[in-house]
């Protein structure tokens, strides 16, 4: 057993979708979440900048004595091979478990991937899917407006702005006759209803946060590091910018009230 917390970081709030799934699968685990809200989004940054930010994020979590780091950011996960040596504990990104789930789900061998510009440019999901099954066709689309929509609370499928933006990005993918769509950024499941409305009921949506949480749970079990306590875990939330309003937006992601127990840190110190 291990009572140390699980560390989760993201460029902003999207990683909270992974935390939501962790709370469901592993309710007794302690979780430390860091959202780099002062430097969001990562998706339009250079690879060098993304790597520098990610190392600082990981250093902060490691200062909290975490037993596992979940990189709940599709953008960072797309360059995670460049971060070897930056983690003193086991870690996982979102790409590998999500790609594996998509390969298992597809029936017609046509998978779509949506993500930030950096994630799509890296072709990380495409490479991972093709490594698992070279016969699968992969179609990609970056959706740079999705993150600011979510971070500002524009999430309803009935909102004409939301629906227009989602349809604008996804129409070409819909025309490719895909039957599986990877939501390759942990912000995107918040737009699930709008995405589903555009793509139709015949397209299976793969939630990167959920798949990563499931993988993390299996990894902890394999390593004998599950928290054996019968008590609900303690969750801590940290951000790099103002804490005002964080609880309200976080509630949208987590589906529960976290109160005002949010702390601001200077990430540049790490």
Q: Which positions are catalytic? A: 73, 185
Contact in structure between 137 and 113 (CB atoms under 8 Å): no
- Between CA 14 and CA 32 the distance in angstroms is 15
At 219 the three-state DSSP class reads helix
Return the closest-CA partner of residue 208 out of 114, 135, 131, 117: 114
Contact in structure between 110 and 176 (CB atoms under 8 Å): yes
- Between CA 219 and CA 270 the distance in angstroms is 27
Q: In what order do the strands lie in the sheet with 110-115?
A: 137-142, 110-115, 180-183, 204-207
Return the closest-CA partner of residue 141 out of 154, 125, 160: 125
- Between CA 174 and CA 5 the distance in angstroms is 41
Please, which residues bridge with residue 203 across strands? none
- Between CA 75 and CA 114 the distance in angstroms is 12
How many H-runs (helices) and E-runs (strands) does the chain carry? 11, 10
Return the closest-CA partner of residue 112 out of 172, 201, 194, 164: 172
**DSSP code of residue 185:** S
């Amino acid at each position: 057993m291990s009572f140390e917390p699980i560390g989760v970081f993201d460029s902003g709030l999207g990683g909270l979708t992974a935390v939501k799934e962790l709370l469901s699968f592993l309710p007794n685990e302690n979780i430390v979440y860091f959202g780099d809200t002062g430097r969001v989004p990562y998706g339009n940054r250079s690879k060098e900048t993304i790597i520098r930010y990610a190392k600082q994020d990981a250093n902060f979590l490691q200062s909290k004595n975490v037993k596992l780091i979940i990189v709940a950011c599709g953008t960072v996960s797309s360059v995670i091979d460049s971060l070897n040596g930056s983690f003193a504990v086991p870690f996982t990104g979102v790409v590998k478990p999500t790609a594996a789930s998509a390969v298992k789900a597809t029936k017609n061998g046509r998978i779509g991937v949506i993500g930030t510009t950096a994630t799509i440019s890296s072709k990380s999901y495409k490479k991972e899917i093709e490594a698992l099954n070279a016969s699968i066709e992969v179609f990609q689309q970056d959706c740079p407006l999705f993150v600011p929509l979510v971070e500002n609370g524009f999430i309803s499928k009935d909102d004409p702005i939301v629906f227009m933006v989602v349809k604008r990005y996804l129409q070409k993918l819909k025309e490719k006759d895909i039957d599986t769509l990877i939501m390759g950024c942990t912000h995107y499941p918040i737009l699930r209803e709008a995405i589903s409305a555009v793509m139709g009921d015949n397209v299976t949506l793969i939630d990167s946060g959920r798949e990563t949480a499931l993988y993390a749970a299996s990894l902890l079990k394999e390593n004998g590091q599950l928290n054996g306590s019968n008590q609900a875990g303690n969750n801590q939330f940290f951000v790099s910018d103002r804490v005002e309003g964080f609880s309200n937006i976080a509630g949208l992601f987590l589906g529960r009230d976290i109160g005002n127990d949010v702390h601001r840190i200077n990430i540049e110190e790490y």
